[in-house]
Structure 1
């Protein structure tokens, strides 16, 4: 997996000069950006580490005030070449940098056991921290987008910072280390994002999505809050497990630490829709995903390169699309009634006054209730409604299942018809929806082909606790996985008995 995360990206901290201070007196920014897809022998090749490094370089230059002449990029490297690059950069800093300058070092690669894994070689993370601490600059920032890179924040000389981050700094003299993952976590890549989760969310945040104050600048606190929350949400149900970015710092001084200033970008795109919504911003010519963001209340402005873009807003009927062109040294605002209505419809689907219906169908496997028939297979059909019923109860469902099985030992055939009704809460996390429900119903059982006996028929009550997860695939289509556990009051030769009952189903859903 990859060590997503990314790049507190552009954290190239950009400190706006005070009024009356000449531009030449402002701190200069320097950046060394490293990306390597290949790790040690036996490690799966990363797909987007070098792409993430390129993305970070673009963000730093476009909104982080790092000019190309003070940026060094190393795309594809081993430990020896990286040491040489660090030595050259150290020499240049010694000759040209001042204690007022800032330095950003970004690395995306395989890692483990406290070392970067670079094309079959290893470089201890300690060397990166030592380089950062020894650089002749006032502020140094190290961003590691690698598996288990959180070990770097355990190194001596830096103080841990617990989220949420709140801080003040100016005339900074210190160092910051940000890692995309904890010391025992994977940093993960995403095919959909064409990069690591953390680096993507950090880069989008620095472009303006993290600007909670809407002052056209993104502070360290805003960038970290945004990247941390979005990375956590994106990896909540990932096979690689939760990914929690970590952060350590040693800063002295007072003031506000500005990482980027989207307001000064050569191109600006404003999503002028008040209601929250999930947006995709794609470059029209290349089809590349520029940003995927969950926009909060109010308009959001992103710094993007001038050019043509496709904007997609998740709506009740799939996605609402709009094409725009961002002018050179200009801005464009996108809004209007159709987009506002689409955003509000989506908000309603997530628990507002509106409701949504879905029908789902798929195979199921269920435990048996009689001897000689341990399990039965069948087909589940469900009608589900999302919409407020009572406080804390915003989903309901009606389920119908038909199952059939053949007994072992004693040859017989059993057919079951199950009807159940349930209700409970649900939680939306991007494309994923989690739900729980208490269900009750009836089970009709018909047994035939019993040796020397007549056919049997009975109707028995049941009660279940059900949990489910749904993934929105495209437009109105979803995949659903549900599991239930409970009991059936089954008839026996002598009265009735409570028999445990468990079932699971995998269904394809269609929104009506």
Structure 2
């Protein structure tokens, strides 16, 4: 969605009078429907979506608790009745000259014609008319219509057309003061995530309302700011999901110049203020590492302040090349600046081994060292190697090319030994802070060329199979660099021709060591 479109949306609010926000009556009907039609799988987090939205509207959005109704798994008739009763209360507000706002939210199954409510259907047109026909000066309908399939739920044995804003809305227009937000575009399915324990769109919408979307830094989150942030983050979060990228959409009736303020996170209302100053992706889990995720915030340039319930949180800050982790305590009335927190750092390859990298991590490194000679009569053989590695959650895979040369002269007789090796192997890595300790094996073959100078002697060459067992330690440095050391033993299968002129095969086992440095990306 273009930034211009978001600016235009920010100007929406057709009939909001100039009355103060304090005199504005705010109502919300929030619906979480886990059960759809008989052939649709049960959703896990629709009710949680509604509860999360309720909490942020009550604490930060000036929605009185008695004006917010949450319906879990209602029938179509129950939803109709609840919305009709709320509209009746709004008419009483209008009769007393009070401005009002109505927000209707739905998370559940739907298709292009209706909402699916536990085997009953509520036609889209009816829901739209019940919402837009309210006496409230501003009416906002938010539809997060989910299908459900694994960590990202996009299931369904019968793929009817996903929910989309119907074309007659665009052709006939909307009533003044009415806006619609949809979590996906036509032809797309909204998705919910096991990791987030909620739908992508609602998860990011709630984060926006907590203050992360306050781009103007005025302590207020407008409809335009909340939608722009939720839309951008939903697209980014669903690029690599099984259901495909999800593009939130909107329709509105543009009148007047006022902006609809949804929440006021700048006010202290019994919550803790958490300052997010450094760019990157932040994840807050309540209580500890395995607790529920309560906030995900993407920060690009400008710092943001998010409002959370006071308590203990496990915070992760994802950067392009590493992850930072910390346990923090957020207290009411005490601003918490994460830039002053003592972080522990998890490098990107360590993150992949923990199962949270989301992509492959490659390493290019150079090594210098040596091993005992394969043939008798030669001293220690220095060698240099180039290695490429791939980190996975289970193992680190290595591929290596090594060159070595040694020679000496004795009584004007020079002997020279040159070798070139290709090896591949795997290591199991254990991360301890900034160190990575690993053990593994490599198999390969070495081309050995033995030549003599100053005396008539035949050139000898052969290909030697080899097996390495090794231990390695790496120290992580900034920007993906590292230094490391490696020790081990190498077993070789060598053919030798002793004085008896009869070839024999030997399997020498020799120590080896090397040190190196490299870069991960």
- Is 1:109–2:108 an aligned residue pair? yes
Q: Is the 8 A contact 1:116 1:123 kept in 2?
A: yes
Contact 1:33 1:74 in 2 (8 A): yes
Residue in structure 2 matching 1:57, options 54, 57, 63: 54
Q: CA deviation at 1:235?
A: 1.1
Question: Which of 72, 76, 79 is residue 75 of structure 1 equivalent to?
Answer: 72
**Native 8 Å contact 1:197 1:231 kept in 2:** yes
Cα shift at 1:359: 7.4
1:100 aligned onto 2:99: yes
**Counterpart Cα distance in 2 of 1:250 and 1:153:** 15
Separation of aligned partners in 2, 1:23 and 1:225? 23
Quote the Cα distance in structure 1 between the aligned partners of 2:330 and 2:81.
40
Distance 1:85 1:152, change over 3 A: farther
Match of 1:323 among 302, 324, 327: 327
Provide the C-alpha distance between the structure 1 equivalents of 2:51 and 2:117, rounded to a whole number of angstroms.
Answer: 17
Output aligned runs, 1:249-260, within 5 Å: 249-260=252-263
Q: 2: CA distance between counterparts of 1:151 and 1:278? A: 31
> Residues 115 and 123 of structure 2 are in contact (CA less than 8 Å); yes or no, is this contact kept in structure 1?
yes
Name the SS of the counterpart of 2:210 in structure 1.
helix
Q: Say whether the 8 Å CA contact 1:30–1:70 is kept in structure 2.
A: yes
* Superposed displacement of residue 242, structure 1: 1.7
Quote the residue 1:268 is aligned against.
272
Q: Secondary structure at the match of 2:164?
A: helix
Q: How does 1:186-335 map to 2 (within 5 A)?
A: 186-264=189-267, 265-274=269-278, 276-284=279-287, 287-314=291-318, 319-335=323-339
Q: Structure 1 residue 16: deviation in Å? A: 12
- Matched residue, 1:120: 119
Q: Is the 8 A contact 2:93 2:99 kept in 1?
A: no
Give, in angstroms, the shift of residue 224 of structure 1: 1.5
Which structure has the larger Rg over C-alpha atoms?
Answer: 2
Preserved contact between residue 159 and residue 248 of structure 1 (Cα < 8 Å): no
The root-mean-square deviation of aligned C-alpha atoms, in Å, is 4.0
Q: What is the aligned counterpart of 1:184 among 187, 194, 217?
A: 187
**CA distances 1:454-501 after superposition (whole Å, capped 9, x unpaired):** xxxxxxxxxxxxxxxxxxxxxx9xxxxxxxxxxxxxxxxxxxxxxxxx
Residues 122, 314 of structure 1: alpha-carbon distance in 2 compared, 3 angstrom cutoff: same
2-structure distance, mates of 1:310, 1:59: 20
1:46 equivalenced with 2:24 (yes/no): no
How big is the shift at 1:22?
6.5
* Structure 2 equivalent of residue 456 of structure 1: none
**Quick check: 254-263 or 34-43, which moved more?**
254-263
1:383 corresponds in structure 2 to 389
Shift of 1:157: 7.1
1:306 and 1:321 map into 2 onto residues whose CA distance is 19
Give 1:124 shift: 0.5
1: CA distance, partners of 2:320 / 2:345: 7
Helix, strand or coil: the match of 2:335? strand
| Aligned residue in 1 for 2:136 | 137
Question: For the residues of structure 2 that align with 1:120 and 1:271, how far apart are their CA atoms?
Answer: 45
Equivalent residue, structure 1, for 2:27: 30
Answer with 80-89 or 120-129: which moved more. 80-89
Counterpart residue number, 1:151:
165
- Taking the aligned partners of 2:194 and 2:422, their CA distance within structure 1 comes to 40
Q: Is the 8 A contact 2:28 2:103 kept in 1?
A: yes
TM-score by length of 1: 0.59
Within 5 Å, give how 1:164-175 maps onto structure 2.
Answer: 173-175=176-178
In structure 2, relative to structure 1, the CA distance for the partners of 1:101 and 1:152 (3 Å cut) is farther
**Alpha-carbon deviations, 1:327-373, whole Å to 9, x = none?**
2355322222855x969x98xx9xxxxxx85379xxxxxxxxxxxxx
Change (3 A) 1:338 1:298: farther
SS in 2 for 1:39: coil
Matches within 5 A, 1:348-359: 358=363
* Pairwise CA distance, 1:418: 9.8
Structure 2: tracts of 5 or more residues without a match: 1-11, 147-161, 352-360, 366-386, 392-396, 402-420, 424-479, 481-518
Whole-Å separation in 1 of the counterparts to 2:400 and 2:231: 42
| Cα gap change, 1:158 to 1:102, in 2 (>3 Å) | farther
Q: CA deviation at 1:89?
A: 1.8
2:30 and 2:106 mapped to 1: Cα distance?
Answer: 6
Distance change in 2, residues 1:267/1:337 (3 Å): closer
Q: Which digits, 9 at most, give the CA deviation of each residue in 1:139-175, with x for residues without a partner?
A: 0000000043322475257759xxxxxxxxxxx9510
Taking the aligned partners of 2:24 and 2:73, their CA distance within structure 1 comes to: 30
Number of aligned residues: 343
Give the whole-Å Cα distance in 2 for the aligned partners of 1:37 and 1:49: 6
Give the TM-score normalised by the residue count of structure 2.
0.58
Q: Distance in 2 between matches of 1:191 and 1:59?
A: 21
